[in-house]
Amino acid sequence: MKKNRKLYYETVIFPSLFFSVVTGVCCAAVIFLFKVCSGRLIGYSTGIYDYVRQNPIWLPLLILGALALGILSMLVLKIVPEAEGGGIPTAIAVARGILKGQTVKVGAVVFLSAMITYFAGVPLGNEGPSVLIGLVVGSTVAKIMSKKYPAWSRYVMTGGACAGFGIATGSAAAGVLFSLEESHRKFSPIILIMSSMTVIAGSITTQALCGIFNMDYRLFAFDIFDPMPLKYIYTAFLTGIVAGFFAIGFTKMFSLVKRFIAKYKNKYRYVINIPAVFVITAVVGFFLPYSVSTGHSLADELVLGKIALYMMIIYLLTRVILMIFANTLGVTGGLFVPTLAVGAVIGAFCGRVFEYLGIMDSKYYSLVVIFGIASFLAASNRIPITALVFAVDGLGGVKNVLPLFCAVASAYFVVHVASLPSTTEMVVENIRDRIFYKGRVKTIDAYLIVKKSSFAIGKEARDLLFPPSTIVISVNNHKDWDINPSAFLSEGDEVHFRYQTTDPSQTLREIEDIVGKQDKNVVIVEKSEDYSAVIPEF
C-alpha cells in the first residue's frame, strides 16, 4: 500500500507540481508583457480614432494607415500561417494531440501579429493569443525539462494554455475549467492538477506584477451587484432564452461565412482580404467608435446604461459582422472578449425592454447586462460551467449565483435543442479533418505491454493523453494493486488499443512514448482501410 502510494506521488503528484509552477511563472511573465503592450496599443488606437473623428480631414490618412497595417499583417501571416485566427482552436487541437506543439517562433509571431490587430482596432480580443502563447511557453518548458518522458508535453501545454486563459480573463477559476470543459472535454485528476497548479502559479505571479506596476488584474472592474429579488428572476430566464436564440444565429452565420470564404479562397486571399478587413475597420471605426477594438469599453458603457437602444442594435450587427469576417479570414485575435461585448449588448437590450414594459426595477438593469454576457458566452461557446464561474468570479456576480445559473441554463438549453457545435469546435473539427483525411485512414487494434519505468506506470488509463481517436478497449492487469487494481497501470499489463490514423507508425510511436518501447513481436491487427472511416467524436 505504502509502496504504491509512493509510486503515485513520484510519477504523478511531484512532476505535476514541478512542471505546473515553472510553467505558470513563465506564462505570467510573458503574458503580462503581452497584456501591457496590447493595452498600450489599444489606448493609442482609441486616441487616434478620437482625434480623427474630431478632425475628419485626417480620415484619408487613417485609411492609408489601416491599409499599411493590413499589408503588414498579411505579410506576417503569409510567412507564419500558424499564427492565424483566434489561437484557442489551435491550442485545443495541440492539447488534444491533433497538431504538434507550437514553436517559440510561432509564439513570437502571434505576439507581433496580435499587436498589429489591436493597433488597427480590429474587433478581436487578447485572450486567444494569450492562450496560444501560454501553450507555446508550456511546450518550451516541456522540451527543456521532460526529455525523458515526452508524454508530459501535452499536460504541460494544457496547463500553459489554461494559465493564459486565466490571466487574460482575470479569472483563475475559469482558467481551470477551460481545461476540463473546452480543451479536453473530460475529467482527469492529472489534467485537473496540472491546470489548477499552473493557473494558480500564473495568477499569483501576475497579481504580484500588477501590484508592482500599479495595474488592475481584473478584465472588468465591475462592483459586486446587489442580490436580485426572486420576483424578478424570470428576467434571467428571458435574457438567457434571447441570448440562446441569438447564439444559434451567430453560429449559423459563422458557419455560413466560413463556407463562403473556403469556397472562394484563392491565391489572393492574403493580398486582398486581410488588408480589406483593416480598411473596413478604419471606416467603420470612424463613424461607430464602439464597433471596433476588443469591445471592453462597449461592455463598460452598456453596464452604465449610457448607450441608446437603437445604437445598441447598430453596434451589435456591425461588431458581429466585423469580428466573424476578421476571424474567419485569419486575422490574429480572439473571440472571447468580443463575445462578451456581444452578450453585453443582448443583456442591455433586454434590460431596457424590461424597464420600458415596467416589469423590472431599473436598479437591476446592470445585472441583466451581466446575465446577457454570461448566457451568450455559455451558448455560443458551449461552456456553461465556465461561463457561470466567470460571471461569478470575474464579473461581480457572486451575490446572484441563482439568477445567473437560470440565465446560463436557459441559454444553453436553447442551443442544445438546436444541436449546433460551438464556433471553436467547428474550427477544431476543420483542423482534424485536414489531418485525418489527407490520406488513407486505417483502423488498427494493437496489444501493447506496459514497460518498466514507462510514463504509464502508476497512472489510470483515463489520465493518459493518447493520440486522437485512440480508445482503450481493455486492460489485462499483470499484478494487483492495493488501490483499485483495475484502475492503475503497472509493469507487464497488456493494453488493448484501437485507433484510426493515416500514419500507423507515427501513432504507434506516440503511444510508445506513454507505455514504453515495444518488442518486435507486438501484436498489431489492421482491421480496415478506406477513405471514409468514421473518426470518433472527442
**279-316 as b/e: b if 16+ CB within 10 A:** bbbbebbbeebbbbbbbbebbeebbeeebeeeebebbb
From 2-11, 235-244, 322-331, the region with the lowest mean pLDDT: 2-11
User: Which residues on adjacent β-strands are paired with residue 443?
Assistant: 500, 528
Give the pLDDT band of residue 342 (cuts 50, 70, 90): very high
pLDDT tens digits, one per residue of 482-510: 444 446 788 888 899 988 888 888 888 89
> Which residue would you say has higher pLDDT here, 271 or 338?
338
Per-residue model confidence (pLDDT) at position 264: 67
274: pLDDT strictly greater than 70: yes
351 and 369 in contact (C-beta within 8 Å)? yes
35: pLDDT strictly greater than 80: yes
393 and 229 in contact (C-beta within 8 Å)? no
Q: Specify which of 184-193, 426-435, 524-533 reaches the highest per-range mean pLDDT.
A: 184-193
DSSP code per residue over 339-392: HHHHHHHHHHHHHHHHHHHT-S-GGGHHHHHHHHHHHHHHHHHT-HHHHHHHHH
Domains of the chain plus CATH, in order, are: 2-212 (1.10.3080.10), 230-428 (1.10.3080.10), 439-530 (3.30.70.1450)
Per-residue model confidence (pLDDT) at position 29: 95
Per-residue model confidence (pLDDT) at position 135: 93
pLDDT tens digits, one per residue of 351-362: 999 999 999 998
This prediction has a pTM of: 0.89
pLDDT tens digits, one per residue of 371-419: 999 999 999 988 999 999 998 888 888 888 999 999 999 999 999 998 8
Per-residue model confidence (pLDDT) at position 180: 84
DSSP code per residue over 116-146: HHHHHT-S-BSHHHHHHHHHHHHHHHHHHH-
Give the pLDDT band of residue 535 (cuts 50, 70, 90): very low
Q: Specify which of 128-132, 187-191, 434-438, 453-457 reaches the highest per-range mean pLDDT.
A: 128-132
- The C-alpha cell of 205 is what? 505571479
270: pLDDT strictly greater than 60: no
